[in-house]
Chain A
């Protein structure tokens, strides 16, 4: 990814111009920036301690009390503070899972594409096989087998969703490795590792960056779902997913408890998806799918 930012100025300018035309992507990028900032500065933005309970202050409605701008939950905890800290958790899991996904997918894709032959066949059959299992099934089974920590949740999500990335990277490498600059590196006696990681990988940065952005979206979605089911982030640590689990019980009386975390999840996923779509159009017009 550093290579994308290291891309020469003329190119970067063109990419920025194409990206700017994409209004939804700009909006997505704005939302993502806002979310990341609010997660980063959660301790300063939160009006309350998100873990502080006070049953005397249960079920405060939103906008009724300046101390609890978005109301309180069934234990009297401040909803806004919990959303902010929950966002921290959800985004952390999303980002770590994305890194896992991208690293695994890129490594397998580049190995399969570059080495080729039987290695390629075996790795791609492995990918095909992994894709036969519905991701939620795989995810839940493994999540149920390993003790849930933030790291294990992120790794499990990452390790069950790298297959697409490996296909994208492999296709890119197959195309790139026939180019003469790779032959030039081989003529100089470059090692396989050098060719794979110094020559080829930076050239696959654009599709990897796009996939990475989209993968944050799906990882946040997955985290919220398994946390909602109780196999992800464990209370008292708040995540948007497990906030929904509790809220479900008070649906008919205090619906905002369920509405707010859901809106947060949707905003995040929409933001990253739009950003990823815009990046795809800007970085690689070949991959373009929608106007």
Chain B
């Protein structure tokens, strides 16, 4: 197992290097190039820029610049914001909890709902429920999420006045859990829509695969009740593709969170991203790109390890 984890870690290294290369390449695309981070910053003086140029080696050849920048990433030096000159990593980490809360709540809803619908669909394949559920899932995947969010605001916040239309707390109620939960409902619903659809499709096909295997027939022949069969035999075997999905889905989860956060003014990383975009805060944009990429790489690594724990055969291959 330790060998497996080490090998997977080794495999993540090229991804990390590739990710930093793409990030660095994109930064060269920015109007003004990488120096824009400083030249466009009104709070930095000309002589400072010269100093920074030397400190960061921006007068050096491009590959050395890259090495400097990439090592900075791994030692926690992610640059400073144009406005306010705060460390980029601090600004991002500040927003992380809100995003994790939103993603976690949406993912929980999606897994519970999607898994139930998917399993039921697989057990009762081609039933009315199954056909409706699979068609509904395809519809949900085709919905423009941001428009769905706008409609949710229109219906639940403006027309019915059941829920707040945005933000994380009412003014002056920061820390009030009830207020937080109220604010969480709509963004969760919007983010969960697409993920639920994906989960129901995947769990349906994962369970269909498992349900038709020999050990399931054997369990039935032995007179094991259906629910027990599902829990004891089907779930552990269907778990593998679903854990893999958890890893693969991460980038989509971030994309979806960005959409939900912008529509609902949820103060997470996605909102930060769109705000930074409007303010041309390139260091923050780059920081967020790298942060999510690293997050995704680690997430996939953990998913792989979890799969290996569930299925010992994976370790040996």
Write the residues of chain A forming the contact surface with B, with a CB cutoff of 8 angstroms: 24, 125-126, 128-138, 140-142, 144-146, 217, 221, 224-225, 228-229, 231, 244, 248, 251-252, 255, 258-259, 261-262, 265-266, 269-270, 273-274, 277, 289-291
Distance between Cα atoms of A125 and B262 in the complex (Å): 32
- Assess the B30–A140 pair: CB atoms within 8 A: no
Cβ contact within 8 Å between A262 and B151: yes
Closest Cβ neighbor of A259 among chain B residues: B151
Which of A251, A277, A291 is close to B125, meaning CB atoms less than 8 Å apart? A291
Q: Does residue B156 face the partner (Cβ distance < 8 Å to A)?
A: no
> Do the beta carbons of A131 and B125 come within 8 Å of each other?
no
- B147 and A262 within 8 A (CB): yes
B4 within 8 A of A: no
Asked whether B31 is an interface residue with its Cβ less than 8 Å from the other chain, the reply is: yes
Q: Which B positions have Cβ atoms within 8 angstroms of A?
A: 14-15, 18-19, 21-22, 26, 29-31, 125-126, 130-131, 134-135, 138-139, 141-144, 146-147, 150-151, 153-154, 158, 201, 204-205, 251-252, 254-255, 258-259, 262, 273-274, 277, 280, 285-286, 288-289, 292-293, 296-297
Given A125-B18, A133-B251, A136-B255; A289-B277 close (CB under 8 Å): no
Contact B150 A258 (CB under 8 A): yes
A144 cross-chain contacts in B, Cβ below 8 A: 277, 280, 285
Decide: A221 and B144 in contact? CB cutoff 8 A. yes
For B31, give the chain A residue with the smallest CB separation.
A145
Q: Which of B126, B150, B274 has the most CB of A within 10 A?
A: B150
Q: Which 8 interchain pairs have the tightest Cβ spacing?
A: A129-B18, A262-B147, A136-B255, A134-B254, A270-B142, A269-B142, A134-B255, A134-B251
- Between A and B, 17 residue pairs with Cβ closer than 8 Å are A132-B292, A132-B296, A134-B255, A135-B255, A137-B292, A141-B26, A141-B277, A141-B286, A225-B144, A228-B146, A244-B146, A244-B147, A252-B158, A266-B143, A270-B142, A274-B138, A289-B205
B251: A residues at CB distance < 8 A? 131-135
Q: Are B255 and A137 in contact (CB under 8 A)?
A: yes
A262 & B138 in contact (Cβ 8 Å cutoff): no
The total of Cβ contacts below 8 Å across the A-B interface reads: 133
Looking at the complex, which one of A129, A244, A251 makes contact with B15 (CB distance below 8 Å)?
A129
List, in ascending order, chain B residues with CB within 8 A of A140's CB. 273-274, 277
A175 CB, nearest partner CB in chain B, Å = 20
B158 in contact with A136 (CB, 8 Å): no
Q: CA A140 – CA B130 in complex, angstroms? A: 37
A273 neighbours in B (Cβ, 8 Å): 138, 141-142
Contact of B285 with A290 in the complex, beta carbons under 8 Å: no
Does A225 lie within 8 Å of B134, measured CB to CB?
no
Whether B154 and A130, one on each chain, are in contact in the complex, defined by CB atoms closer than 8 angstroms, is: no
Closest to B143 in A: A266
Contact A270 B139, beta carbon cutoff 8 Å: yes
Nearest CB of chain A from residue B70's CB, rounded to whole Å: 14
A140→B289 CA distance, assembly (Å)? 11
A90 to chain B, nearest CB (A): 11
CA distance A133 to B204 in the complex (A): 27
Closest beta carbon of chain B to A112's beta carbon, Å: 15
CB-CB under 8 A for A244 and B135, given A132-B19, A132-B297: no
Q: Which of A132, A145, A146 has the most CB of B within 10 A?
A: A132
Asked if A128 contacts B134 (CB within 8 A), the reply is no
Question: Are B258 and A136 within 8 A (Cβ)?
Answer: yes
Q: Which of A134, A146, A274 contacts B292 (CB 8 A)?
A: A134
A231 near B277 with CB under 8 A, answer yes
* Extra 11 A-B pairs, beta carbons < 8 Å, given A137-B254, A274-B138: A125-B14, A129-B293, A134-B251, A134-B258, A134-B292, A135-B255, A137-B273, A255-B154, A262-B151, A290-B138, A291-B126
A266 touching B18 in the complex, CB below 8 Å, given contacts A145-B30, A251-B158? no
Rounded to whole angstroms, the CA-CA distance of A133 and B293 in the bound complex is 5
Q: Which chain A residues border B134 with CB–CB below 8 Å?
A: 290-291
| Residue contact B18 to A126, C-beta cutoff 8 Å | yes
Residue pair A225, B297 in contact (C-beta under 8 Å):
no
Verify A258–B154 contact, CB threshold 8 A.
Answer: yes
A229 CA to B271 CA, complexed, in Å: 12
Cβ–Cβ contact A290 & B201, under 8 A: yes
C-alpha spacing A269/B153, complex, angstroms: 22
Contact B29 A145 (CB under 8 A): yes
Contacting pair B144 A265 (CB below 8 A): yes
**Cβ 8 A contact of B144, one of A142, A262, A274:** A262
Provide the bound-state CA to CA distance between A201 and B78, in Å.
Answer: 44
Residues of B within 8 A of A269 (CB): 142-144
Q: Which residues of A contact B289 (CB under 8 A)?
A: 133, 137-138, 141
Write the nearest CB–CB distance from A82 to chain B, whole angstroms.
16
CB within 8 Å for A134 and B252 given contacts A244-B150, A255-B154: yes
B135 touches A132 (CB 8 A): no
Q: How far is the CA of A132 from the CA of B251 in the complex (A)?
A: 6
Are B131 and A291 in contact, with the CB atoms below 8 A?
A: yes
* Chain B proximity of A105: nearest CB distance (Å): 17
User: How far apart sit A146 and B30, CA to CA, in the bound complex (Å)?
Assistant: 8
CA distance in complex: A155, B82 (Å): 29
Distance in angstroms from A66 CB to nearest chain B CB is 27
Residues of B within 8 A of A289 (CB): 201, 205
Contact partner of A137 (CB less than 8 A), chosen from B126, B139, B258, is B258
Task: Considering the complex, give the chain B residue whose CB is closest to the CB of A24.
Answer: B135
